[in-house]
Amino acid sequence: MTTVLIVDDEQDMRNLIEMMLHNAKIETVTAASGTEAYDIIVREKIDLVLLDVMMPHEDGFAVCQSIRAMSSLPIIFLTARDANEDKVKGLTIGGDDYIVKPFTNDELVARIQAVLRRSGTNIEDLQQKYVIIGPIKIDEIARKVSVDGKSVPLTLKEFELLHLFMNNPGNAYTREQLLERIWDIDYVGGTRTVDTHIKTLRLKLGKEAAGHIQTVWGVGYRFDPGE
Higher pLDDT among residues 155 and 6, named by residue:
6
pLDDT digits (tens, 9 = 90+) for 27-69: 899 999 999 999 999 888 888 999 999 888 889 999 999 998 8
End-to-end alpha carbon distance in the chain: 44
Per residue in 173-185, pLDDT (tens digit) is 998 888 888 876 5
Instruction: Write out the chain in H/E/C secondary structure.
Output: CCEEEEECCCHHHHHHHHHHHHHCCCEEEEECCHHHHHHHHHHCCCCEEEEECCCCCCCHHHHHHHHHCCCCCCEEEEECCCCHHHHHHHHHCCCCEEEECCCCHHHHHHHHHHHHHHHCCCCCCCCCCEEEECCEEEECCCCEEEECCEECCCCHHHHHHHHHHHHCCCCEEEHHHHHHHHCCCCCCCCCHHHHHHHHHHHHHHCHHHHCCEEEECCCEEEECCCC
What are the boundaries of each domain within the chain? 3-119, 130-223
In this prediction, residue 123 carries a pLDDT of 32
The residues that bridge with 147 in the sheet, in sequence order, are 136, 150
| Bridge partners for 77 per DSSP | 51, 98
Instruction: Provide mean pLDDT across the span 92-104.
Output: 86
Residues 6+ apart with CB under 8 A from 129: 139, 140, 141
Q: Does domain 130-223 have CATH number 1.10.10.10?
A: yes
- Whole-angstrom distance, CA of residue 41 vs CA of residue 159: 20
Quote the mean pLDDT of the chain: 85
Fold annotation for 3-119: Rossmann fold (3.40.50)
